[in-house]
Amino acid sequence: MTLTISKVPLSAIEEAKKLAAWTAVDKHVLPEHKVIGIGSGSTVPYVVERIVAQGPEVNKDRVFIPTGFQSKELIVDAHLSLGDVEQYPIIDVTIDGADEVDTELNCIKGGGACHLREKVLAEAADTWIIVADYRKNSQVLGTTYTQGVPVEVAPFAYAKVLQNLHHIGSPNAKLRLAKMKAGPVVSDNGNFVIDAPFDAEKMKDPYPLLAQIKMLTGVVEVGLFCHMAKAAYFGNQDGSVTVKWHDGKVDQIAGPQS
């Protein structure tokens, strides 16, 4: 994988991702931050791009902690110093993408099957920031990301967890299958992923649902991130950025020019 982001004009959605990522880096990745968590997904390359643009002087004393294979490659390709959460269990700031974010900054994550490490890095961070395009900005989780809550499971337990998810209100929960390989998606941790859709009533208040799923034996981690983010940055089609804060405040700001 290469960090190079093509010079051809970006689509509106790519522009929105870039706006969110660049703005969040400008506001939250400060010169005094030395340990920085890098999330996963298609918005995160713009995070790394903006951090690199802060220059070698500030980056030479920093260490970057990845949430999975993809972000590890991004860090290495950008010639930034790679670390691990085992060495650095306290992180200054982690910036990550999300599949959907509600009004209280609860998120669905795990569309890329990285949510176990993503949650560890979110918890390890003094500040956890979400970056996304406008499509991810929702009132209630499950409105636009309808594939379901990603649930990472120990492979041998998947059939039992699937049955239990059917019983607790997700009759359409399914094992996630790979696109270019016969069989299941295998996470960076060697586990399987189940996608479990729940109705809006359950998704309106995701914390009890998170606790209920997490209690199922065989579940490793649940892609519901509740009450964790300090702020979520959404790039909009008109070049502005919507910032939703943990205290409910919402700002509409202009994106960076360059």
Q: Looking at beta carbons only, is 35 or 193 nearer to ligand 5RP?
A: 193
With respect to ligand 5RP, which residue has the nearer C-beta, 31 or 96? 96
Residue nearest to ligand 5RP (CB): 41
- Candidates 33-41, 81-89, 155-163, 199-207; binding stretch for ligand 5RP (CB under 6 A): 33-41
Q: Note whether 42 binds ligand 5RP by CB under 6 A.
A: yes
Q: How far is the CB of 109 from ligand 5RP (least distance, A)?
A: 4
- 197 in contact with ligand 5RP (CB under 6 A): no
Distance separating alpha carbons of residues 163 and 181, to the nearest angstrom: 24
Between CA 67 and CA 71 the distance in angstroms is: 6
- Which of 37, 39, 45, 148 is close enough to bind ligand 5RP by CB under 6 A? 39
**Catalytic residue flag (residue 123):** no
Instruction: Please enumerate in sequence order all residues whose Cβ is within 8 A of that of 247, keeping only pairs 6 or more positions apart, or say none.
Output: none
**With binding defined as CB under 6 A, does residue 41 bind ligand 5RP?**
yes
In the complex, least distance from residue 85 CB atom to ligand 5RP, rounded to whole angstroms: 16
How many chain residues touch ligand 5RP (CB under 6 A)?
17
Count Cβ atoms below 10 Å from residue 48 Cβ, excluding itself: 23
- Dihedral sign (CA 158, 163, 168, 172): positive
Could you say which of 83, 110, 218, 235 contacts ligand 5RP (CB under 6 A)? 110
- Contact status: 18 vs ligand 5RP (CB under 6 A): no
Strand 125-133 relative to strand 91-96, pairing: parallel
Catalytic-role residue among 14, 15, 100, 118? 118
Please report, as residue ranges, which positions from 83 to 102 form the binding site for ligand 5RP (by CB under 6 A): 96-99
Residues forming the site for ligand 5RP (CB under 6 A): 39-43, 96-99, 109-115, 118
| Residues recognised as catalytic | 118
